[in-house]
Amino acid sequence: MKGRFITFEGGEGAGKSTQARLLAEALQMAGHEVVITREPGGTAGAEAIRGLLLACDGHDWGPRAEALLFAAARADHVERLIRPALTRGAWVICDRYLDSSRAYQGGAGGLSDEDILALHGIGSEGLLPDLTLLLTLDPDLAQRRLKLRDAGQADRIGGRAVAYHAKVAQAFERMAAEAPERFVRIEAAGAPEKVHALVMAALERM
């Protein structure tokens, strides 16, 4: 494939959506075709599954059901949006991807990494990003940001206990350590423009 695939990962409140948008704007100014998307979501089918997964008044899915739903949403997302964009040479920037499933349903939910990767192999033919930018943030600062952003209306997964999110963070750190050729850790505590500068510096490897 001729395009490039970049994902943003990290816990709640790390600023992934903001940094994805800033990177998309920078790449567009440089003359690239850019597709910015998110998970779960990005296509009509995947957005419908997103509603099932995140609604606070919906069914309380267990980690196995969650993993299957995320894999199904991702399969549609990859087939209908991500692969076609990469094939025609676009840069695809995605707010969360496979590694979130590995961290949330795996590291915090108790499923094995092998099971999550097996679902990904079936659903999305194992497609991995060229670069994963892991935004890291002190948990206390993350909580303060979330209170401002959500005004007490966190989604079903974002509103889980602090201990759950601590396990998510540990899983992300483990993945980054195991795959340094794909991951770049970026401290996200600074102002958005300063974090964006770190993001742009990370792209030099590409």
Task: Tell me the CATH number at 101.
Answer: 3.40.50.300
Residue 201's contacts (CB-CB under 8 Å, 6 or more residues apart) are none
Q: For residues 70 and 119, what is the distance between their CA atoms, to the nearest angstrom?
A: 10
- List, for residues 78-113, the tens digit of each pLDDT value: 999 999 999 999 999 999 999 999 999 999 999 999
Quote the pLDDT of residue 128.
Answer: 98
Two tokens, residue 7: 């994902």
Question: For residue 12, what is the enclosing H or E element?
Answer: none
Across the range 154-168, mean pLDDT stands at: 79
* Confidence (pTM): 0.91
Across the range 139-166, mean pLDDT stands at: 72
Residue 6 — φ and ψ, nearest 5°?
A: -120, 135
How do strand 34-38 and strand 4-10 relate by DSSP bridges? unpaired
Residue 10, SS3?
strand
Instruction: Report the Cα 49 to chain-centroid distance in Å.
Output: 16
Domain that holds residue 148: 4-205
Q: How many domains does the chain have?
A: 1
